[in-house]
Amino acid sequence: MEIEIRDIDEQTIKQLLPPCNSCLYWEAPEKYGKDERGEPKTSKDEAIIIKQGWFKNTGSTFGSCGKILYIDGKAAGYIRYAPSHLFEKVTEYSQELFPPSPDALLLSCLHIQSAYREKGLGTRLLQTVLEDLRGRGYQAVETYSRDDANGSSGPTVLYLENGFRVLKKKKWKNAAYSLVRLDF
Confidence of residue 3 (pLDDT cuts 50, 70, 90): very high
Confidence (pLDDT) at 16: 86
What b/e sequence results for 13-47 when a residue is b if at least 16 CB atoms lie within 10 Å of its CB, and e otherwise? beebbeebbbbbbbbbeeebeeeeeeeeebeeeeb
* Local structure of 125: helix, strand or coil: helix
Q: Mean pLDDT, to the nearest integer, of 32-58?
A: 90
Give the chain's domain count. Answer: 1
Confidence of residue 66 (pLDDT cuts 50, 70, 90): very high
Q: Mean pLDDT, to the nearest integer, of 8-33?
A: 86
Say how many C-beta atoms besides its own lie within 10 A of residue 145's C-beta: 27
Q: Which domain holds residue 58?
A: 3-183
pTM: 0.91
Confidence of residue 5 (pLDDT cuts 50, 70, 90): very high
Confidence of residue 21 (pLDDT cuts 50, 70, 90): confident
Say how many C-beta atoms besides its own lie within 10 A of residue 5's C-beta: 17
Confidence (pLDDT) at 184: 95
Q: Is 2 exposed, middle or buried (0-12, 13-18, 19+ CB in 10 A)?
A: exposed
Helix then strand then coil, in percent of the chain rounded to 5, is: 35, 30, 35
pLDDT digits (tens, 9 = 90+) for 90-142: 988 888 888 999 999 999 999 999 899 989 999 999 999 999 999 999 999 99
Q: Which CATH number do you get for residue 66?
A: 3.40.630.30
Confidence (pLDDT) at 44: 85
Ranges 41-45, 149-153, 164-168: which has the least confidence: 149-153
Q: Mean pLDDT, to the nearest integer, of 141-166?
A: 89
